[in-house]
Structure 1
Amino acid sequence: MEKPSQQHSHFIIFKPFGYLSQFTNNDVSKHKKKLLGELDIFPENIMAIGRLDEKSEGLLLLTTDGKTSEYIRSSKVEKEYFAQVDGYITLEAIEKLKNGVEISIEKTIYTTKPCNAFKLNYIPEFPKRGKKIRDDRHGPTSWVSITLKEGKFRQVRKMTAAVGFPTLRLVRVRIGAYKLANMKTGEVKKLKELVK
């Protein structure tokens, strides 16, 4: 007799600024940090597929299915980010981002893989962030789209800094076929399945 297939749960969320991409916290020094479990009631064994650091926002997929998580975290699935950077980003800087730049990963120099990058010719409409971004009195800013198939720790922030335009705000807008679209900060949607 065959075992019934396990029913997995999947969610798409808009991770707010200031939240860790996890549900439990064993680090005593981080006891005041906000966790994903505060956004909704989730089933046991739920996990974030990949991570967004505490200061980053946007699309995060959650699942109880380890195999699906492993696939989506792989280099087969694109992740697109919109980064608000300090200053008017130049075409030269965009080309460097596209071709790969040297960043530091765990004290080792790493060259990022070629990626898709371009300057946005509009200001994306995201909900206001919990912590204010500096205003124009401190100089101009611009927005760039960066699409990766890899995900090193704080990679987008390190990439824009490496070409001279530090990231002020970072929002993941797409993972594969899933888009942030018009979701509100902290919004959680249950999915029937995760399309690979």
Structure 2
Amino acid sequence: MSTLYLLHKPYRMLSQFTDKQGRATLADVITVPDVYAAGRLDYDSEGLLLLSDDGELIHRISHPRHKQPKTYWVQVEGDISEAALKSLRQGITLKDGPTQPAKARQIAPPASAPRQPPIDPKRHPSTSWLELTISEGRNRQVRRMTAHVGFPTLRLIRTAIGPWQLDGLAPGEWRTETLHAPRPTDKHPNRRKAPRKDQRARPAAKHRKP
């Protein structure tokens, strides 16, 4: 039995628990001791981040072998075209090689919490939203993909990792899920890396409930 923590990482927060530059970290919103993140979200990205104190579970979730699909709401500059969506679905070639075909569709502006600070409408008078699902985890991949097809990303919110959903969590909120069996299946459960020191939660005096 393992406990998984589902956190809505706010905008401009690091996906780690310490920072020498004094930027916001996970320690500002989650006080559970000895947990660390499965993967990461960029400082300027928002949305679902999974954490646990179970190293094998984190490995099963984050290892590229398992290719957990990740779904994002993406606000882009301009009114995204069907041709651009088609290119994303077929796969495009970035500097580090071709991407796998993605699921991509235009959506209405989602009911997401306002970003602070908000996107400046004077600088970006025309924007649109798409839902994008990928099974890779390259550095800043979604941003590079939308820029490649001519629609730079302005806001990026991860809404799902595999079967786990953001499900209405506000920025900074988290909830727990108890797993009674390994998910997803890992044929090599002992092959895992220890978390970096800055990914581990510092001991907390109190356990704050979501």
TM-score where L is the length of structure 1: 0.85
> 2:67 matched to 1:76?
yes
Which residue in the other structure is 1:63 paired with? Answer: 52
Give unmatched runs, 5+ long, in structure 1: 1-6
Cα-to-partner distance string for 1:31-70 (whole Å, 9 max, x where unaligned):
22111011021121x1111111000000111011222222
Picking from 94, 103, 109, the partner of 1:103 is 94
2:27 equivalent to 1:33:
no
**Same amino acid, percent of matched pairs:** 38
Equivalent position to 1:182, from 146, 151, 168 = 168
Divergent runs of 4+, >6 A: none
Supply the distance in 2 between the matched residues of 1:161 and 1:41 (Cα, whole angstroms): 37
Instruction: Report the Cα distance in structure 1 between the residues aligned to 2:98 and 2:72, rounded to whole angstroms.
Output: 19
Question: What residue in structure 2 maps to residue 3 of structure 1?
Answer: none
Q: What is the alpha-carbon distance in structure 2 between the residues aligned to residue 117 and residue 98 of structure 1? A: 6
Question: Which amino acid in structure 2 is aligned with residue 40 of structure 1?
Answer: I
Q: Give the secondary-structure state (helix, strand or coil) at the position aligned to 1:157.
A: helix
The answer to whether residue 13 in structure 2 is matched with residue 15 in structure 1 is: no
Q: In the aligned structure 2, how far is the partner of 1:195 from the partner of 1:68?
A: 8
SS of 2:169 mapped into structure 1: coil
| Counterpart residue number, 1:171 | 157
State whether residues 9 and 43 of structure 1, in contact with CA within 8 Å, keep that contact through their aligned partners in structure 2. no
- 1:123 corresponds to 2:123: no
What is the TM-score when the length of structure 2 is the normalising length?
0.80
Q: Are residue 88 (structure 1) and residue 82 (structure 2) matched?
A: no
Q: Which runs of 5+ in 2 are unaligned?
A: 185-210
Q: RMSD across aligned C-alpha pairs, in angstroms?
A: 1.7
Q: Distance in 2 between matches of 1:9 and 1:34?
A: 24
Per-residue CA distance 1:142-190 (angstroms, 9 max, x = gap)? 1011101111011000000000000000000111111112111100112
The 1:18/1:184 distance shift into structure 2, 3 A limit, reads: same
Q: How many residues align?
A: 180
Judge conservation of contact 2:36–2:51 (CA < 8 Å) in 1.
yes
* Alpha-carbon distance in 2 for matches of 1:41, 1:190: 13
Match in the other structure for 2:144: 158
Contact persistence 2:14–2:23 (CA under 8 A)? yes
1:83-126 alpha-carbon deviations (Å, 9 max, x no partner) = 0000000011001111111223xxxx321111111111x11011
